[in-house]
Chains A and B, each alone.
Chain A
Amino acid sequence: MATVTDLKITELKLSEAEGGKWGMVIDQDICTGCQACVAACAMENNVSFVGDVDSGYGRSMHWIRIERFWEGEYPEVKMTPNQPMMCQQCGSATCEPVCPAFATVHSQAEQLNLQVYNRCVGTRYCANNCPYQVRSFNWRDYERPEPLPNQLNPDVTVRTRGVMEKCTFCIQRIHKAQDNAKAEGREVVDGEFTTACAQACPASAITFGRVDDSESLVSQLIKHGHGVKHLEELGTLPNVTYFKGG
């Protein structure tokens, strides 16, 4: 069996987080691959399910997927640490400049990659140009038979066919937290809210917070751990840090 052992990402020493506001730290050592994050993300963000035919054809809409490979030959076969992949919210995103319609742009306020669904015309250039392959496209109007639409989160736009989508770092939660904090006349506190995936993760393998606040939990984790950023050599300045652990 040809395993893909040589495809491990290069470990790079992490310099100071360049720019960025929101960041995520994922501990692959304790990620059990249980898919709770995937389910939580789908429920929070109105992600469509696509059915057996399309999901078998590489059209599943997961905003987050858990990658794993096999190492070694039986009986010394091992699984590589589970690697949840979602939009890395690159500081210098390759998806952004290639959109002819300005449908995916960089948020100056939140330092995130925005996907403006209503502006998207569906050229899919951004997805081609995403080195992480984390964008999902609405190939069809995926059916949600009644009464399933009752579950839809009203804070998140329901996407139609022909529109690209991707992980937003639960920007609706960011906005809600900021709105609440503002109404109470304070700043958003670290840990006050988190993304749906981080919230659900039974192993607490995902931590989310401000990377520009050196006191936040994510900053502390980044500072004290040996994290890697995926495909950092491309200069994309990703904002998700992975701990391989082990």
Chain B
Amino acid sequence: MIKRLFDWLKQPLGLIAVGIVFLAVFSVAAYGLYTTQQSPAQPIQFPHKTHVAFGIQCLYCHPGAAKGPSAGIPSQAKCWACHQQIAKTQTSVLLAPLKEHVESGTPIEWVPVAQVPDFVQFNHRAHVAAGQNCENCHGDMTTQTIAENPQVFNMGFCLDCHIKSAGEDQAKLNKLADCGTCHY
């Protein structure tokens, strides 16, 4: 039985079949990897670039970045504060979900884009205080609609910058490159 199968696989058609299976598995794996690098689907196609173009500062909607560990996602009350005064809100199809959520009083379920694993203790405030701009990590929001992740937030990304910014200052390097700075 098995022998017959092998025999069949050895002939050209069989080889093609093997090739197809291999390609399929490979493509699925590649696609899986690819999807992890894509922006997830969001409930609202939030156009960051439009908002940035209006001159709205990052910290207006994500004030936590300057205050503490998490930048935060704005409450829909904050969205609504402006949007209820914008006529387009009432008509736009894209904005319908916002209207819906506000009226039904249910939270909008955003999917986080920029994440670090649980065992990394990240603090926005320290980075903002050190003079890092948002786009250094999160990319240029003037070109993005829903947030994309331009960086893989792995340890290399963090550490490269930490070591670069420490420069020759040994004390600063001790602090910035210490395992205990992020992992505890």
A117-B119, A182-B126 known; A156+B181 contact, CB < 8 A? no
Chain B residues with Cβ below 8 Å from A171 are 180, 184
CA A157 – CA B117 in complex, angstroms? 10
Q: By the criterion CB–CB under 8 Å, are A108 and B174 in contact?
A: yes
Residue of B119, B126, B174, B178 touching A179 (CB-CB under 8 A)? B126
A182-B126, A183-B129 known; A157+B118 contact, CB < 8 A? yes
Instruction: Count how many chain B residues have C-beta atoms less than 8 Å from C-beta atoms of the other chain.
Output: 16
Give the interface centre of B119, B174, B180 by most chain A CB atoms within 10 Å. Answer: B180
Chain B residues with Cβ below 8 Å from A108 are 174, 178
Does A234 belong to the interface (CB within 8 Å)? no
Q: By the criterion CB–CB under 8 Å, are B179 and A107 in contact?
A: yes
Chain A residues with Cβ below 8 Å from B183 are 114, 116-119, 157
Does B121 belong to the interface (CB within 8 Å)? yes
CA A158 – CA B121 in complex, angstroms? 12
Q: By the criterion CB–CB under 8 Å, are B121 and A172 in contact?
A: yes
Chain B residues with Cβ below 8 Å from A175 are 121, 123, 181, 184
Does A110 belong to the interface (CB within 8 Å)? yes
CB-based nearest A residue for B170:
A108
Q: By the criterion CB–CB under 8 Å, are B181 and A109 in contact?
A: yes
Which 9 pairs between the two chains have the least Cβ-Cβ distance?
Answer: A108-B174, A118-B119, A114-B180, A109-B175, A107-B180, A157-B119, A109-B178, A109-B174, A116-B183
